[in-house]
Structures are given as C-alpha cells and as structure tokens.
Amino acid sequence: MINRYAIGLFAILANCTHTVAPPSPSGVKYTVGDPYQAGGEWFYPREVNDYDATGLATVITDGGPAYTADNESYDPDALAAASPVLQLPCIVTVTNLVNGRSVDVRVNDRGPMQPGRILSVTPRVARLLSFPSGGIVEVEVKLNQSQTMALQSSLGAVPKLTAAPVAGITAQSLAPPGGGAATGGVQQLGPSANGGNLNQTVTLSGQVTQGAPGPGPLWVQVPGFGNERDGFRTLARIPGLPARVVPVYGGDRPLWAVNAGPYHTVADADAALQQMLQVGIPDPEIIVR
C-alpha cells in the first residue's frame, strides 16, 4: 500500500502552461474575472479577505500563454502561482504539507485548469518547497491580508480587504534545496498601469521557513449546504462512495458538507471527484485533513 505521506511523490500529470514573454507595456492590472468552466467543473473567481485552504498543488510547465491573467509576463523564476478563484494579484503563503516548508508567493494567474487542484506554482517555487518534479503535492494556501490589501491599493483598486492581526510564528529560515542563499534575490513588481509603483508596497524575499509536516488523507468535499437535509439528498446520489454528512464552520451560521473518503492516493480521490461530477453534483473539491 502506498504511504499517504508520500502522495505528492507519485502522481504526475499535465498542468497550467506558459511561455516566457517580454514585460507587458500596459502594466499589471487588478482583476477578478468571470466564472469559467474547466475539466467539467465551474470555477467562480471572487474577492476574499480570508482564505485558508488545503488541497493539491501542481507545477506550471512551459508552452502556454506568454502573459498571466493580471497582465504580467510569465517568468518561471518568479515567486508566483496560479489560483482558480483568488483575486489577482494577491499574496499567499504556500506550505508543502508533506515536508512543512513554506514560502510567500504572488498569485497572478488563473489555473490549474483541472478539478481537484487549488494551486499551480512556478518551477522556482516548486524547487524552494521541494515539490517532486512534475508531480502533485498536498499544500495549504493562506492569504496574506495586509500585503494583499497594499498590493490591491497600489494598483488603484478600492481597498476591500480588512487587515487582521497576525499571530507571532516562530520559524527557521532555510536555504533553497541544492544550496544557495535563502533569499535567492528579491522578486518585485514594476510600475502599475495607473502609475503606482508596486515596488513600494510588496517585496517577496523567497525565504523559506520550516514548520512541522502535516500531511493527511485526502477527502472529496461538497461544501456549503445551509440545511443538513440538503447534504443527505446529495449523499443519496453517490451510494457507491464512502461518504458522510458533516458540519463545517464558517461565517455566522452552521453549514454542512458531504465528505467522501478518506483516500490515500491522488488517483482514488480524483476518481471519487469525477464520479460526483458525472452525476451532476457541483463544486466538489479535494481537501487534506
């Protein structure tokens, strides 16, 4: 049996792709974007002020559009990532749950275009966090509220995020895998389209911090039921899956979710997610718990 702690080391698949291009003359643009469909599932980009999600991340490969969704040129050496739903650009902390390594990156593109994936990262970020080459990794993605608000404001967008106090965290700085300085150079943005200078607001160092590993089994979750009965009606549509209705907490009212699992391989979790999509259940997602 495959050890669940090594899930990220075994699954290989095609990911969001890019071709390097010169900087865009029109500058970086704050964007959210319209809902879109990919891989048989709808995705709904949105502005958020609180985002802390677990799931599966992939590595961006070459060969796709030269510019990101927020009008930056794609750079495989940037501290950057793609999200299917977050406002662009924003700053998040990405943690590889298999080894506990974390780094701050800028989300500036849409992707990965596959259900069950919450992020794709540049090759540089993948190296810093010791992703397996071309593989899939269990991650946590957490929005940095204060830096995202500053970035949004510098682009001329009306600030909509409320910065929250950040608890003190003790972490060890690491050199990137293979040697070299932990900073590896500073990743900054150039002038925005409206004349603001993002260099004054956001600086990403590339410094890696080491926390405790936190891998876990995979679950396929259908979240957001306001009524427990709705959860059980969805459960009845997937009798072949080991699923249950569970309470979830968020906002000011109780919600319910359908959780199928646990699964100890990406292939098994993907199969369960596809079964849900095939019977018309919307918005299933793969989480780590």
One domain, residues 174 and 222: no
pLDDT (0 to 100) of residue 280? 95
Note the pLDDT of residue 136.
92
For residue 120, the enclosing domain spans 4-210
Q: What is the pLDDT along the chain (289 residues), one digit of tens a residue?
A: 334 434 443 333 334 456 556 655 568 899 999 999 998 899 999 999 999 999 999 999 876 678 999 999 999 999 999 999 999 999 999 999 999 999 999 999 999 989 999 999 999 999 999 998 668 999 999 999 999 998 888 887 754 544 444 333 334 445 545 443 443 445 555 555 444 455 555 789 999 999 999 999 999 999 989 999 999 999 999 999 999 999 988 667 889 999 999 999 999 999 999 999 999 999 999 999 9
**Residue that finishes a domain, picked among 147, 177, 210:** 210
Q: Are both 91 and 224 inside the same structural domain?
A: no
What distance in Å separates the CA atoms of residue 238 and residue 286, rounded to the nearest whole number? Answer: 16
**Nearest Cα to Cα of residue 72 among 84, 81, 59:** 81
165 and 276 fall within a common domain: no
Query: Considering only CA atoms, which of 45, 276, 87, 91 is closest in space to residue 198?
Result: 91
> Which pLDDT score, from 0 to 100, does residue 58 have?
96
Q: Alpha-carbon dihedral of residues 113, 59, 79, 177, nearest 10 degrees? A: 170
In Å, how far from its chain's centre is CA 187?
19
**What local confidence, expressed as pLDDT, does residue 64 receive?**
66
pLDDT (0 to 100) of residue 99: 96
CATH number assigned to the domain comprising residue 225: 3.30.70
In the chain, how many domains are there?
2
Helix (H, G, I), strand (E, B) or coil at 268: helix
226 in the same domain as 120: no
- 282 and 158 in one domain? no
**Tokens representing residue 73 in the block:** 């040129």
Q: Is the pTM of this model over 0.85?
A: no
140 & 276 share domain: no
The pair of three-digit structure tokens given for residue 90, joined into one six-digit string: 């924003």
What pLDDT does residue 173 have?
46
Q: What are phi and psi of 113, to 5 degrees?
A: -85, 55
Q: Are residues 260 and 147 in the same domain?
A: no
